[in-house]
Chains A and B, each alone.
Chain A
């Protein structure tokens, strides 16, 4: 089955850039997603990238996809305190999504 791996914890100073990494196993994944979860809340879709793309930029967010290595990363530029949350990557196709364990990002003022 699908498997998605993420590192667990990242602390970053406000204003710096943060990078979160993720690897996945399902090569048939059509889309790769990044979700943000704030404490006690559901998931908010941040951005997604088609599997045939290498990079997608959306304001402060940059997604890089290395399909050969099945590696996905999310770079947050000018990290702000409101970016403190757990970030999940997910891979999937038609219906099913496989989520990573999440990466907690703590922004230090």
Chain B
């Protein structure tokens, strides 16, 4: 199956700093990428949907100035958590869908963010 790679797998940062998470589709071109946040023992919450070359569409309640999403190419999307605070600590997962209109969305392995 298609491979989606997230980097880093885990990151610890100081409160007030910014952290960038990358999501790459390794063997297919992803026209659409999704960013999710998962709290412990909870389901995935869709944060935003990004299409290559256009602005991301954020879900209600997600601060777009805090969670900057860039989808500059068909194989790379980035999520930057700006001015991170401890409450931003979470598991962030991206998924990517290809160009052929296929329904499957392939998920990255996730990034564990801890803000101290």
Contacts and interface: CB of A to CB of B under 8 A. Distances in A.
B78 interface: no
A58 to B, nearest CB: 13
Interface in B97-114: 97, 103-110, 112
Contacts of B108: 42
Interface of A: 4, 30-31, 35, 40-45, 48, 88, 95-97, 99-102
Label chain B's interface by main secondary structure.
Answer: strand
A50 B41 CA distance: 28
Interface stretch (B14-22, B42-50, B63-71): B42-50
Contacts of A101: 42-43
Given A42-B93, A42-B108, A31 B103 contact: yes
Given A4-B43, A45-B104, A95-B34, 5 more contacts: A30-B103, A44-B107, A45-B107, A48-B104, A88-B44
